[in-house]
Copies of this chain bind each other. A is one copy, B any other.
Amino acid sequence: MSKRQAIIPKGWEIYEHLTFAPAVRKGNMLFVSGNDATEIDAETGKLVIKGDIVQQYRTIYEKLKVVLDTVGATFDDVVWTCDYIRSKEGYKGTVAVRREYFGNSFPASTGIVVKELLSRDALVEMDAIAILDK
């Protein structure tokens, strides 16, 4: 069994100062940390969260895609996701995002409404588990 390997995509070097990895691989298991829609603003260089819950959800999926790409995996390898939302308001709209990224075949998933998320502006956060083919 290989050692635990922190997966830090190119451009995500901010994680080198944090106490969790964006994702971790050991053997063929990939664990992806709870991920909100935080992005680096192209103009100001600051970390920001933009958009309503559906836009944030799409950003999270784009970020998950970057993580999967980094290890040579795809959305077909994702076996589990958990959505953490602050309110059900607008959540139904995220179904379209799931179809867009997963197509017609889906992972197992749970969704819960939490009291708060760690990032003040986050309306949704998601973690995931993937099992890689190789």
A residues lining the B interface (CB < 8 Å): 1, 3-4, 6, 18-24, 26-29, 31-34, 76-82, 84, 86, 88, 91, 95, 98-99, 102, 105-118, 125, 127, 129, 131-134
**CB pair B125 A95 closer than 8 Å:** no
What 16 additional pairs, Cβ within 8 angstroms, besides A1-B131, A113-B114, A113-B115?
A1-B28, A1-B134, A4-B76, A19-B102, A26-B77, A29-B131, A31-B80, A33-B109, A34-B111, A84-B110, A88-B116, A91-B118, A110-B125, A112-B116, A113-B118, A114-B115
**CB pair A76 B131 closer than 8 Å:** no
How many copies make up the complex? 3
